[in-house]
Amino acid sequence: MLALQASAGNSAVNQLLAGDAPLQLQRLVYIRNRIGSGWRRKTGRSTRAGHGRLGGPTVGDMMVDADKRFFESKAEMSRWARGEIDTMGYVANAATWVRVRPGSFTVIGENHSAVTMADLAKGLHTDRFRYEAYTENVGALENPDLHAAVSHRKQQKDVQIGSAVGTRAHEAEDLHPKILRSLTGLIPNQSKVMGTPAELRLLGWAILDAATPANAAQLDTYRDNEVALDALAQTLVAMPDSGPSRVVDLAWAVFEEFKAEYTALVQAKVDALRASAVPADVAAFDAHWHLAVGPFKTFKRSGDYQRDPAHEMMQAEKARDLSLFLHMKRAKADGDLLFGVGELHQDRLNSLLESQGIAHTDMTTFIDGQKQRFRAP
């Protein structure tokens, strides 16, 4: 028992004797060696520290859970536990300690089905991030139903990330380029519409957007099928994040007419976003934007969605990429640490970001680097 007290701490042993300690008692906290290199495992009595403003474990909690944490000093450990540091943390989904440089800003390309920006934000307990899953919304008075649908998507991500969400803005792109891109991905299947859950959810947003009186007045197909489309939209906006493509009860012929009318109407709003940007930013974007070529680290692909940059899908992706880039510039100026996008976006923007002095990497490379950096002795 004396040996156990020495290695785990009196508080932890008391919990064990009381029957409320974890079954596997561990002390996986490491402090940088003062002399030489490497890490030493923390020993001695646990110090007390309260939860920080974004939540997280106390120093006492760290002594008895299984997460490996690495600190430059005991003082840094205590500051982190008090919530005073948001540039390091344990990312559970990647099973590694992560540290980013204070004052830095990095764009990270991810596979949305693997380790994501949501995982990083949660692990770091930081609200200084932007993420592609968050989309700029319309006003509640302008279109209550569309506003509610976009807000619901935000709330889903907020719940996933938890208290680290904080109060800062996390929106990474504008609404209409994202909607237009989703429409280009839908395909016919036995005269019905087929698409991924994400594409179908955004089709639902498009229908809700079409219902705005000013828009509906210019969309004959929407008005002719208003009852059926409105009912379908309520099902579509509840689509999950991922899963196999599925067929929905919408005639392909009706969708094609709706898509043509809606795209013509909304393209003006997309063009207005470009026109309102700083001319130098648009010029730099046009000079450096290119199709994604890889090699990709977070998933297996041989290239971009389409090989022709003039294809409607790639033109929609280009509009999204401009919106993402403009949000990246704002995020960096606002003091954010991280900006999460799909790896294809990061690949298309890589030379542009380099020209702007904005660091970027893919999630696989980022996580592998952290695991190499923080290896227990």
Q: What is the pTM of this model?
A: 0.87
pLDDT of residue 42: 63
pLDDT of residue 40: 64
pLDDT of residue 32: 74
Q: Which are the contacts of 206, defined by CB distance < 8 A and separation ≥ 6?
A: 179, 182, 183, 262
CA 315 – CA 160 distance, rounded (Å): 32
pLDDT of residue 376: 76
CA 3 – CA 47 distance, rounded (Å): 19
pLDDT of residue 85: 94
| H helix or E strand, kind and range, residue 159 | helix 144-161
CA 17 – CA 38 distance, rounded (Å): 34
pLDDT of residue 47: 42
Buried b (16+ CB within 10 A) or exposed e, 48-78: ebeebebebbbbbebbbbebbbbbeeeebbb
| H helix or E strand, kind and range, residue 110 | strand 106-110
- pLDDT tens-digit profile, the chain (377 residues): 444 344 444 444 344 334 443 333 334 777 776 645 666 666 544 444 444 434 456 655 655 566 888 998 889 988 988 889 999 999 999 999 999 999 999 999 999 999 999 999 999 999 999 999 999 999 999 999 999 999 999 999 999 999 999 999 999 999 999 999 999 999 999 999 999 999 999 999 999 999 999 999 999 999 999 999 999 999 999 998 889 999 999 999 999 999 999 999 999 999 999 999 999 999 999 999 999 999 999 999 989 999 999 999 999 999 999 999 999 999 999 999 999 999 999 999 999 999 999 999 999 999 999 999 998 77
Using DSSP, state whether 204 is helix, strand or coil.
Answer: helix
pLDDT of residue 78: 86
